[in-house]
Amino acid sequence: MKNQHVSKFITYIALCCVGVLPSFAQPTAPVGLEWRVLPELTDEFDTFDVTKWEKPTWNYVAPNRMIEDNSGVTDGKLWIKATFHNVADRWFISSRVQSKAQTKFPMYIECSMRTAHISAYNTFWLNNGNDADRDEIDICENVSNPSKPEFADWAYTMHSQYFLVENSVTERNKGNFDNRNLPDSNPMKGVKWNEKFHTLGMWWKDANNVQFYLNGDETGKVTTTRPFTRSQNVIWDLWTNPDDASWFCGVANKADLSDNTINTMYVDWVHAYQLVDPSNPSSVDGVEADEYISYYPNPASDVVNVNFSAQKDVNAIFMLYSMAGSLIKQQALVGNENQISISDLPKGMYLIKVVNGKDMFSQLLNKK
């Protein structure tokens, strides 16, 4: 077992050095961009890396209580366990693991996860904020063993969704998916989440669009109406809901919490990526890129200003691409201050490319 972990770790380090990792469902990067590993959110879980992860103990409603001891890393897997404590209210004892770093679009993240077989949410999600003010993306909230028989379908569903809450006003939309609807060619079609490790992915494309993935296939997706822009932490946890929660599939059975064969969820690995432009140098002729050229405002609604430093001769071309790779707009740039109209474009993310002689710069633009 030890040699297996050493080999796994060496492979992980080697791939990180060249900026790639094995990926189940990583989408094709838009033209001109490529995926680069976010090491602070990527882990093979050979150990519990305290530089990356922490165990917050804030609680959900009773009967939940979060403690640090109910999570850890063993045999190359992160685990979170639910146990029983004989008290009247907080008897469901579990844990939470959260990233210390945060991330935002454009990014992609996926993990390999097997759920506890109890009536409780096995979660993989992103969040920043509190109940009254937050952005949240729920990649997975699977319950593989609902205690209410009428919720048996929950054993197959992701329960993907987003929340955008400002001053207690909530915008929410679901992108849920039932794994029995995977293509016949997918060997994980109809496999319950506690039986095997499932690969769960999410591409946070821009300030309004999120695409979910399951075992290599696109599943649900969501589109927000308000900008969805806060940087977020990555979280796993395991929790149940009280008996009177009519929207939940049934509180956990207390007897199940003493069965170590079903009371634990596992994460084998997590891989996170950011979109980057490999042709965009950090400096040009000794001048930092942000001193050479500036784009503003961003987000923008009507125009984008493209300004060059006074020291540079400008005879440049401005190109604007969709995230699918189509050239949307092209314009010659002459002089140090230029303005490009984008009022006719729909909301979304675009890629700006500017070529000035041998110099080339790129920037993602959020059209609001």
Q: Is 324 left (phi over 0), alpha (psi -120 to 50) or beta?
A: alpha
- Give tens-digit pLDDT for 247-266: 899 999 999 999 999 999 99
Out of 44, 136, 288, 291, pick the active-site residue.
Answer: 136
CA 29 from centroid of its chain's CA atoms: 16
Using CA atoms, how far apart are residues 126 and 111, in angstroms rounded to an integer? 13
Out of 34, 44, 54, 141, pick the active-site residue.
Answer: 141
Q: What single letter denotes the amino acid at residue 18? A: V
With DSSP H G I counted as helix, E B as strand and the rest as coil, what are the percentages for the chain, rounded to 5?
10, 45, 45
Structure tokens at 285: 């002729």
Q: Are 116 and 253 within 8 A, CB to CB?
A: no
Helix H or strand E segment including 39: none
- Output Rg (C-alpha) for the chain, integer angstroms: 23
- Residue 130: predicted pLDDT: 81
- Residue 368: predicted pLDDT: 87
Global pTM value: 0.75
Using CA atoms, how far apart are residues 282 and 284, in angstroms rounded to an integer? 7
Local structure of residue 89 (DSSP, 8 states) = S
Q: What is the largest CA-CA distance in the chain?
A: 75
110 is catalytic: no
- DSSP string spanning 184-246? TT-TTTT--TTTS-EEEEEEE-SSSEEEEEETTEEEEEEE-SS-----BEEEEEEE---TT-T
Task: Show the domains of the chain with their CATH numbers.
Answer: 2-276 (2.60.120.200), 283-367 (2.60.40.3080)
Phi then psi for 282, rounded to 5 degrees?
A: -75, -20
Closest CA to 259 of 118, 367, 354, 368: 118
Q: Are 122 and 159 within 8 A, CB to CB?
A: no
Length of the chain: 368
195 is catalytic: no
Using CA atoms, how far apart are residues 364 and 299, in angstroms rounded to an integer? 10
- Residue 11: predicted pLDDT: 40
- Residue 286: predicted pLDDT: 44
Q: Scan for tokens 């593989």, then name that residue.
A: 144
**Residues in the chain with pLDDT values less than 70:** 1-26, 279-291, 310-312, 323-325, 358
- Residue 288: predicted pLDDT: 55
Kindly give, in sequence order, each residue whose CB lies less than 8 Å from that of residue 44, ignoring residues fewer than 6 positions away. 8, 9, 12, 76, 269
